[in-house]
Structure 1
């Protein structure tokens, strides 16, 4: 038996960073649906949260999973579900691009807290600022 524990912090935004997910109730509904869908697909989604224009996921990769496929499954199914249920007034879609960074065991609690506190975090800082911090912190060029 193989033992694997690889955590990845994934962040993806709505198309053109439009604030489609503009209420707390809508976000709770979407995050709950993504979590349930992930479970059905065998994806271990440890934590999910976000704000009006983006989503943060902490995922533990399984032995037969890769980041691209997980992101595709989470984003594709959720945008289909949001549109099918007409949860936004305009057609909803996620942007193609995303961030994905590994998370060490020692940083798991810190990342969980960061994801959990998105509402509070974005009262002080926009996603544009957060995006630039990710670019700088993880040396994405």
Structure 2
């Protein structure tokens, strides 16, 4: 069963961006759980220094239409450049504001 197909990905030291085409047979929460579990298990086999690695509890998920996909992939490809001037927290707040998501800072960060 195909649960998702990766379209693009990029990461920096404290987070990862993924562009994923999600199958209708799995929820976003299930996909995130599977991604975090399998990547965590794999990372821990790569070095003893990663033995205590753990993802944060939360995640953000935003959908885009087909016409925005190229721009999204370009954004993901430029993560290191973005984060030279903007922190993960600043970037996440920007996305929340852009997509009109109300939030309370007390519940956003682990």
Structure 1 runs not aligned, ≥5 long: 1-39
1:51 is matched with: 12
Residues 1-141 of structure 1: pairs in structure 2 closer than 5 A = 42-86=3-47, 88-89=49-50, 91-141=52-102
DSSP-derived class of the 2:101 partner: coil
Conserved in 2, the CA contact under 8 Å of 1:53 and 1:127? yes
Greater RCO, 1 or 2 (C-alpha within 8 Å, sep 6+)? 1
The whole-number CA distance in structure 2 between the counterparts of 1:87 and 1:59 is 30
Deviation for aligned residue 1:65? 2.1
**Number of paired residues?**
102
Q: Aligned-residue CA RMSD in angstroms?
A: 1.9
Unaligned runs of 5+ in 2: 103-110
Q: Which has the higher strand share?
A: 1
Runs of 4+ in 1 over 3 A off after TM superposition: 87-90
